[in-house]
Structure 1
Amino acid sequence: MASSHETAVNQIAAAVRAFSSQREPFRIFHGSTNSTRPAHDGPVVDISGLDRVLKIDENSRTAVVEPNVPMDKLVAATLARGFIPPVVMEFPGITVGGGFAGSAGESSSFRYGYFDQTVRSVEMVLATGDVVRASPSENPDLFQGAAGTAGTLGIATKLELSLIPAKRFVKLEYHRYNTVSETIAAVRRATEDAANDYVDGIIFSKTLGLVMTGQLTDDIPPSTTPQTFSGAWDPWFYLHASQQARKCPPHNNNNNNNNNNNLSPPPTDYIPLAEYLFRYDRGGFWVGARAFAYFPFVPFNRVTRWFTDDFMHTRMLYRALQGSNMAAGNVVQDLSLPYPTAGAFVDHTAETLAVWPLWLCPLRATRGPTFHPSSCSADGQPQPMLNIGLWGAAADAVDVFVAQNRALEAKLTELGGRKVLYSQTFYEKAEFWSLYDAAWYDGLREKYGATTLPSVYDKVHVDAGKMRRKAKGRGRWAGRLAASGVWPLPGLRGIYCAIKSRDYLIHRQPCWTYWNGVGAK
């Protein structure tokens, strides 16, 4: 296995060295992607074959993996040894390399930080073709800089991850609140409770908020049926959570603990661990409901969700979105803010976009320089932030869509927030670099010979002019029809691309679900 990995890395290094000798820029091809950013043309180095779990060491509690290992494959491998990664991205198709190169924060990130902060070391092929190792003790500046910089300092080819002991279930409690400010305050309080392993929230409207607190456990009350979310007849998690929220009265405004007004216990589920980690996969949180709205003759109910289940997993949803050329018309953004300004941002999006629900994910304080969302208090100390997942309908017209996003970016900056850079970014270049430490980043690019690689700005910026030209329809006839915007051609094109990918076969034979034996003892 190691020899095969080394052979693959040597081939990648040789390809990179050839580009470097000619000073020719190139991009990295990973295979499928969960990014909503537009694809770019140009020469590529193919690393899609680096997709293996190389080693799991129970003594050191580490896993050594290649970058294109998806989360479901990683979790299945580590659970078989009684461990899990401390931070697991909630979509099964997100890869280890994607999590390291991006800003992956999940419901355990209030404790462990971003996914890359659970990485112990990384093997990289630099833009010069040299193969190096980076860790807190070896090339520590590269180790810090490569995390979250979208692969612009080199190519990650092997990562060593920390692991923690797994348990069979997550005991998940649901706590309801009746204002945005109460919900945000409750999220922050929940992160300060040492008993909680997982914390996230959903704001369904200005008058209905939900905070969910999870604890790892091997115990389950007698006669309790585990709650699962991976089966075609199972509920989508957000719909289930909404039902749980309505089972209990809202918390007392004057009560700072987690007890309900009548002191009754909160609604509680016992969820098999892997089912919890990927609970948002079916329906892609709630974005999958947009597909039903696009085809209004298809009702949105349990039967139709069962019938269309092949298309409602996130791998297929991403394929459909990317194939449909419907980037305009959908806002898919994760935006992180300091707790004191998060409520004002929710108020702003409610007035300007009216997108509901919103996801709340608390994040541990992160020290810069970094491209991760980060913020400092008045005395210069890094402070925790709250990520807000804003995913829903926006304008179809490109110019209006761009204006909506620019206004969103301006408000975010005004309130001291930062974007998660997997999403579409419309900042002007000078504006973008005013938000990040360009001198630090450029110094790393020079030191490690990465100036022939695209910069972070090059990778994340959306060319509005190119988007307009694409919307007018150029290229192959199928792409022109999709770009025409004439209903239902873009949607049908997206369905075709999703089916062509055959990603639905992965979810028909999953390796991690409770009913396939993972966690069922």
Structure 2
Amino acid sequence: MGYPQRLEHLRQRLRAYTGPNIRLDKATSNLFRNRDTSHSGLDVRNFQHVLSVDPATRSIETEGMVTYEDLTDAALEYGMMPAVVPQLKSITIGGAVGGIGIESSSFRYGLPHETVHEMDVLLGNGDVITCRPDNEYRDLFLGLANSYGTLGYILRLEIEGIPVKPYVRLTYIHYTSAQDFFKAVDESCRGSYDFVDGVVFAPGDHYLVLGEFCDEAPYTSDYTYLDIFYCSIRSRSEDYLSVRDYLWRWDTDWFWCSKNLFAQNPLIRRVLGRKRLNSITYQKVMRWNTRAGLTRQLNRLTGIHRESVIQDVDIPIENAPEFLQFFDQEIGIRPVWICPARHDGARGAYPLFPMRKDTLYINFGFWDGIRSQQAYPTGHFNRLIEEKVAELGGIKSLYSESFYPREEFSEIFGGDEYQALKAKYDPDNKLKDLYQKCVLGH
């Protein structure tokens, strides 16, 4: 069955759908907030095919539920990769565009939604429309980013691909000053590097990581089993990885979050084996723990109050040192991932995730919990972050918990433009509302 046949079959199922608000039933999810699973979803697991890779036009055509692991493997066979490959193998291309993704090539190519040429979108009434930046559906083309399936579901995309070389040479540079560190990030993004990111391990302990494609390598390191990538950053000044291992360097240990599951213990790594050391395994364990409530029960018995703080926020680089200082004083989670992103090549203004074109942004990624003997109001630390991000002219991703009041949320994430898109493309409210989905967890 080809894409047109799969498409028609899905349209028929949607028109026969009798549930309340439509939601997707798919194989993977990288959300860290409550999801309504009280009714069955629309099965879209058949839309997992890479349709074409064309090195001549530097384009890749793919269905929306394809994971970046499968998408990247298909592209690498042609000496290409998607222009931006988010960090975890299980992230889908449709999820990264309808949500928000980022990686170390984002300083050059922007976020995943900024690399899209066109999309087929399934609307709540069963219609499928093709959106491009130059056709009558330009408003939806731009509005889908950060809409989380509340305007329509992305079934097919044509995205930008870039040529690759077999290896990536990594250079690690240490800085004790945050000001010097962010200045070096800015300068590096103006250079010829292919990849730029970094890690802040502690106050005064900043590492800039620079990547360059190369045809040959004197050696290659392996961080898919016993050795741990983020630990290597502090112990060496240079490294070489195959291009595939570079793209998935963070997946084996879910950045560093595998430590919460004791999976950085050499014995446990041997027991799990190479195939189970990945973000998919950790997500399954964490979601099982959330359902079972073991951590909650343990915290209750020990008198510990815990708030999950799992966030990615984007801050204009001129305000990045101030945000890091605030973060050190009020939150204190470590390590923190640093990833620059530029938006001057965007195909227009994305109303649900507005970012300036005249500045480099710094993404701060932090994923852990804050434990204390003192009880704070629900969402206390997350709300501190939301307020500081807004004060500094930044914006945060919505894949995790959010605590915005409705009016503030509307001001940041689309407001009247979102309501106009909702009225035009989902007038019967077959799909959920963005605030209800991302803040209220409906």
TM-score (norm 2): 0.89
**Is the strand fraction higher in 1 or 2?**
2
Confirm or deny that 1:323 pairs with 2:304. Answer: no
Structural mapping, 1:375-454, within 5 Å: 376=356, 382-395=358-371, 400=377, 402-449=379-426, 451-454=429-432
1: CA distance, partners of 2:379 / 2:10 = 37
Unaligned runs of 5+ in 2: 297-305
Shift of 1:462: 4.2
Report the counterpart of residue 307 of structure 1 in structure 2.
Answer: 271
Are 1:106 and 2:103 matched, yes or no? Answer: yes
- Say whether residues 1:348 and 2:323 are aligned partners: no
**Structure 2: distance between partners of 1:180 and 1:59:** 42
**Which amino acid counterpart does residue 368 of structure 1 have in structure 2?**
A
Amino acid at match of 1:64: E
1:229 equivalent in alignment to 2:220: no
Pairing partner for 2:31 from 24, 35, 45:
35
CA distance 1:208–1:317, shift in 2 (3 Å): same
Q: 1:130-168, CA deviations, whole angstroms, 9 ceiling, x for partnerless residues?
A: 111111223211111112211111111111122111210
Q: 2:21 aligns with which of 1, 21, 25?
A: 25
State the 1:342 CA deviation.
Answer: 1.6
**Gap change, CA 1:338 and 1:435, over 3 Å in 2:** same
Measured after TM superposition, the shift of residue 17 of structure 1 is: 2.7
Q: Within 2, Cα distance between the matches of 1:417 and 1:59?
A: 37
Deviations 1:164-186 (A, max 9, x none): 11210111111110122222221
Q: What's the CA shift string for 1:346-368, capped at 9, x where partnerless? A: 12221222211111000113663
The one of 107, 115, 118 aligned to 2:115:
118
Q: 1:335 aligns with which of 289, 297, 313?
A: 313
Alpha-carbon distance between aligned partners in 2 of 1:150 and 1:54, rounded to the nearest angstrom: 24
Which residue of structure 1 aligns with residue 300 of structure 2? none
- Listed as ranges, the matches of 1:478-489 within 5 Å are none
d(CA) in 2 for partners of 1:212 and 1:427?
Answer: 34
Larger Rg belongs to: 1
**What corresponds to 1:241 in structure 2?**
233
Structure 2 residue 143 is matched with structure 1 residue 166: no
2:89 to 92, 112, 115: 92
Q: Which moved more, 1:107-116 or 1:451-460?
A: 451-460
Partners of 2:341 and 2:328 in 1: how far apart? Answer: 23
Q: 1:112 touches 1:118 (CA, 8 Å); kept in 2?
A: yes
Distance 1:398 1:125, change over 3 A: farther
Looking at structure 2, the residues matched to 236 and 350 of structure 1 have their Cα atoms a distance apart, in angstroms, of 25
Q: Deviations over 1:429-470 (max 9, x none)?
A: 11211213311111111222353311221221145xx9xxxx
1:493 maps to: none
CA contact (8 A) 2:171 2:238 kept: yes
SS class of match (2:21): coil
Secondary structure at the counterpart of residue 461 of structure 1: helix
Cα separation, 1, equivalents of 2:154 and 2:265 = 43
Partner of 2:155: 157
Q: What is the aligned partner in structure 1 of residue 79 from structure 2?
A: 82
- Partner Cα distance (1:107, 1:455) in 2: 31
1:334 maps to a residue whose letter is: D
Q: Which whole-Å CA distance do the structure 2 matches of 1:196 and 1:58 have between them?
A: 21
Residue 6 of structure 1 corresponds to 4
Counterpart AA for 1:313: N
The sequence identity of aligned pairs, in percent, is 28
Report the CA distance between 1:329 and its aligned residue.
Answer: 4.1
Q: Distance in 2 between matches of 1:154 and 1:217?
A: 40
- C-alpha separation in 1, matches of 2:277 and 2:34: 22
Q: Which residue of 2 aligns with 1:45?
A: 42
2:144 counterpart (143, 146, 149): 146
* Deviation at residue 301 of structure 1 after TM alignment: 4.0
Shift in alpha-carbon separation, 1:117–1:167, aligned structure 2, 3 A = same
Alignment-mate amino acid for residue 122 of structure 2 = V
For this pair of structures, how many residues does the alignment match?
A: 421
* CA deviation string 1:389-447 (max 9, x = no partner): 01122248985451121222122222222111112111121121121331111111122
Structure 1: unaligned runs, 5 residues or longer: 245-266, 293-297, 467-521
Which amino acid in 2 is paired with 1:315? I
Cα distance in 2 for partners of 1:331, 1:312 equals: 23
Partner of 1:456: 434
Q: Deviations over 1:226-255 (max 9, x none)?
A: 12222x23x2110111212xxxxxxxxxxx
Q: RMSD of the alignment, in Å?
A: 2.3
Q: Measure, in 2, the Cα distance between the counterparts of 1:225 and 1:430.
A: 54
Partner SS for 2:199:
strand
C-alpha separation in 1, matches of 2:323 and 2:44: 39
CA distance in 2 between partners of 1:395 and 1:428 (Å): 25
Distance 1:461 1:182 in 2: 37
Distance 1:187 1:96 in 2: 27
Distance 1:64 1:369 in 2: 22
